[in-house]
Amino acid sequence: GAVVSQHPSWVICKSGTSVKIECRSLDFQATTMFWYRQFPKQSLMLMATSNEGSKATYEQGVEKDKFLINHASLTLSTLTVTSAHPEDSSFYICSAHPPGSYNEQFFGPGTRLTVL
Amino acid sequence: GDSVTQMEGPVTLSEEAFLTINCTYTATGYPSLFWYVQYPGEGLQLLLKATKADDKGSNKGFEATYRKETTSFHLEKGSVQVSDSAVYFCALATGGGNKLTFGTGTQLKVEL
């Protein structure tokens, strides 16, 4: 149980376009999901906490208008990178917190974004 | 604030060697501790966890013991395999369902 999927697994886009990444909890409902960004050979940086039915909570230094997060249902959160630029190229990972799993998060497989 | 410190890598070992990856933490309250593993090109997978002092988490031959007195959660495996080559992240969480604080990760390379 506790499977989290992401789509797409990789995406290449042109500079200036927007890209949407989906994160789904497949076998549980998640009121809270998290979005991370990972640079090559570095640790995960928490970008924001996505709360179902309310606005996301962004970490300091993360641009809200750049990285739009929507948690439309208990099984789906989306991250939209708007007006993408090459410096937005990164590995984006989501995670979800199943009810009853104290402090435990389950991670999606990640999405590799390359902006040309 | 909370923080996690891991030994720097890469760590290169021969197959069947003993593995230790050190992890120490600072946290307010009583954190839960985790080891996650990331294989190339993939997301993170939970390897093991411990939620209170003296708990030992174990999985796939890996073990780690929650040591409150030394604020440590070192990862060990008695005999590594080539398939264990990955990046290992130590992490902590405080409270219920709160965000994780990760260490910088330690890359393990196991050679024949």
Q: Which of B102, B10, B90 is nearest to B50 (CA)?
A: B90
Mean pLDDT (whole number) for A72-84: 94
Residues in chain B: 112
Give CA–CA dist B109/A71, Å, rounded: 38
Q: Is A1 exposed, middle or buried (0-12, 13-18, 19+ CB in 10 A)?
A: exposed
Closest CA in chain A for residue B48: A104
B32 Cα to chain A: minimum distance (Å): 7
> What's the pLDDT score for residue A98?
77
Subunit contact A42:B49, Cβ cutoff 8 A: no
Over 90: is that where the pLDDT of B96 sits? no
CB-defined contacts A:B, below 8 A: 56
Inform me whether the C-beta atom of residue A110 falls under 8 Å from chain B C-beta atoms: yes
Contacts of A41 in chain B (CB under 8 A): 105, 107
Per-residue confidence at B28, pLDDT binned at 50, 70, 90? Answer: confident
> What's the pLDDT score for residue A48?
94
**pLDDT tens profile A2-55:** 789 999 999 999 999 999 999 999 988 888 899 999 887 778 889 999 888 888
Mean pLDDT (whole number) for B9-16: 95
Q: Which of B35, B34, B30, B24 is nearest to B52 (CA)?
A: B30
Per-residue confidence at A105, pLDDT binned at 50, 70, 90? Answer: confident
> What's the pLDDT score for residue B21?
97
**pLDDT tens profile B48-77:** 999 999 999 999 999 999 999 999 999 999
What is the Cα gyration radius of chain A?
13
Give CA–CA dist B45/A74, Å, rounded: 22
Subunit contact A93:B96, Cβ cutoff 8 A: no
Pull the structure tokens for residue A46.
């928490």
**pLDDT tens profile A6-18:** 999 999 999 999 9
Cis peptide before A98 (omega within 30 of 0): no
Per-residue confidence at B99, pLDDT binned at 50, 70, 90? Answer: confident
